[in-house]
Amino acid sequence: MNYKDTYQEWVDHIPSDDPLHDALVAMQDNEVEKEDSFYKNLSFGTAGLRGKVGAGTNRMNYYTVGKATQGIAQFIVQHGQEAMDKGVVIAHDPRHFSREFCEMTAGIFAANGIRVYTFPSLRPTPELAFLIRKIGTTAGINITASHNPKEYNGYKAYWNDGCQVSSEIADGMEREINAVDIWSGVKKSSYEEGVQNGKIIVLGEKEDREYLDKIESLAIHTGDEIDSSIPLVYTPLNGCGSIPFRQMLNDRGFTNWKIVPEQENPDPDFTTVGYPNPEDPKAFALSEKYGREFGAELLMATDPDSDRFAIEIRDNDGNYVPLNGNQTGYLLVNYILEGHKTAGTLPTKGAMVKSIVTSSLSTKIAKAYGVEMFETLTGFKNICGKIPYLHEHGYTYLFGYEESVGYAGCEDIRDKDGISAGMLVTEAAAYYRKQGKTLWDVLQAIYEKYGYTCEEGVNIVLDGITGRARIERMMQWIRANQPTTIAGYSVDHIVDYIGGVEDLPAQNAMRFFIDADTWFAIRPSGTEPKIKFYFYANDESMDKAKEKNAAIRDAILDLINSVE
């Protein structure tokens, strides 16, 4: 069927008293909105579902979420009674309809004979990831759109290893989802009835404490080794982080911190921040205000589901400087390795993991401490999915991260975790403060020792059907017209991941190397309507590195933007 036929099918099936029916009627004369809402099914992949909330097959709503849940339930049932008894743990963030989707999802799993664990209120994504392995469930679901704007919601799917589902598992789930009749194929039961009859088990303080205990076990320096009076400001950006982050700071003995009051409590509209992405410096506007009033040395933020984490630090002039994900990664890699070395706990065969689009500078830091840095494709299903391999080959996992402000400091939490990253950064800042140094001082020392590296990420957002098609044309063009020089710099070699490279599976991404430390990468986002660029330049000073990076950036963007 074409989008018009599918639209009419929804009009015919959805009752007139359903709010989605009103939304369908409202778009009947808007062909652009109608086409974008119905031209395809909301795709299910290794990131699960993600899209705008609304009516349509390409939207997040009770029907698309119900169809996905029924398909995953059928996939679990195919794995037998043991898989059904181990069950599914489900969490949600503060977004519009997150709680409603969560309860409906729990009821569908219960109606399919699958045990369900859930929470009485919102919880961080990393806590869900931790509890999958702690409880021993077959799968996990989190209703969240992470850092996306307020119009979005999503559905993250995890398997029994605690990682987001692999391509193989996602393909199996998707086959079952596609086989479900959206109107008659979904088994349903009420959430309340499931709780009453014991099919849905509500988790609580015990599991929250287990998650925080695991995070706090990552501490390297404690007590008199750190200055626990360091002034801090934290914002959860109206998401899930407020309670666990605050508890973590109290548990660790930090005494001089402030939470941004306007952003302390859940708000699905993210009224005071707009775009709730801590990667965007604009998200720190209120934190900076309170930081100046409070004299804070460090500003910290987590996104709405608390898996992403970003910081601003004070430079020598007292100004707050936003750090990108690579720079925070340098500080964490350096601190974890230096900290374990000074504490005498650095393993003889240590390993760290980063994505292919993350800066090479951290590889130099790891090498200086005798630790091997492994590379994976983007996404923490790949980064944390490397942990079993490391164990099999005698390595001790120390840390994994990628440039998009995601950090995994604990091998028992196999996803990015803003709460544990916050603890480690706070500890690092307090440790260096005890020595009379700031994080700014440490970052400059890293550049001086390992090379001045300029990092920049650029996203071109292209919405809708036409945008998606243009992104495809951009990738086709760059493959067909691979540059040999960029801005006067010779391209040494190109790595195209579209067919898989060595032990890495296929991904639609390319890297262009000027040399080992100066390169750029291009890939379409897997969860958002954008094509992403990653630029890195290394030189003898930061000014020269920035100049080189800017020249390469402008040259490649001019080429890409010429593709219609």
DSSP-derived pairing of the beta strands 152-159 and 49-52: antiparallel
Q: What is the C-alpha separation between 542 and 546, in angstroms, rounded? A: 6
Distance between CA 155 and CA 329 in Å, rounded?
27
Please, are residues 434 and 227 in contact by the beta-carbon 8 Å criterion?
yes
Q: Position of tokens 């001790």?
A: 396
Cα separations in angstroms, 503 against 161, 321, 355, 398, 479:
20, 38, 14, 21, 22
User: Which of 311, 368, 361 minimizes the C-alpha distance to 337?
Assistant: 368
Q: Which of 216, 47, 191, 214 is nearest to 119 (CA)?
A: 191
Q: What SS3 class is residue 28?
A: coil
Q: 306, 314, 307, 333: which is closest to 231 by C-alpha?
A: 314
Task: Name the residue type at position 368.
Answer: A
Give me the count of residues in the chain. Answer: 564
Q: In the 3-class helix/strand/coil scheme, how is 211-222 assigned residue by residue?
A: HHHHHHCCCCCC
Contacting residues for 388 by C-beta, under 8 A, at least 6 apart = 161
Residue 551 to residues 484, 505, 539: CA-CA distances in angstroms?
A: 15, 32, 13
Check if the beta carbon of residue 273 is closer than 8 Å to that of residue 283: yes
Taking alpha carbons only, the member of 80, 42, 75 closest to residue 58 is 42
Closest residue by Cα to residue 84 from 114, 40, 55? 114
519-524 vs 510-513, strand pairing mode: antiparallel
Distance CA 17, CA 196 (A): 29
Pull the structure tokens for residue 407. 């950090």
| Residues 6+ away with beta carbon under 8 Å from 524 | 471, 472, 475, 508, 530, 531, 532
Q: What is the spatial distance between Cα 288 and Cα 271, in angstroms, rounded to a whole number?
A: 17
Annotated catalytic sites, by residue?
Answer: 146
Task: Record the tokens describing residue 490, joined without a space.
Answer: 């010779």
One-character DSSP codes across 437-458: --HHHHHHHHHHHH-EEEEEEE
537's tokens: 């330049």
Task: Give the C-alpha distances (Å, rounded to integers) separating 212 from 208, 396, 429.
Answer: 6, 22, 20
Question: Cβ(253)–Cβ(127) under 8 Å?
Answer: no
Q: What angle do CA 226, 232, 237 make, to 5 degrees?
A: 135
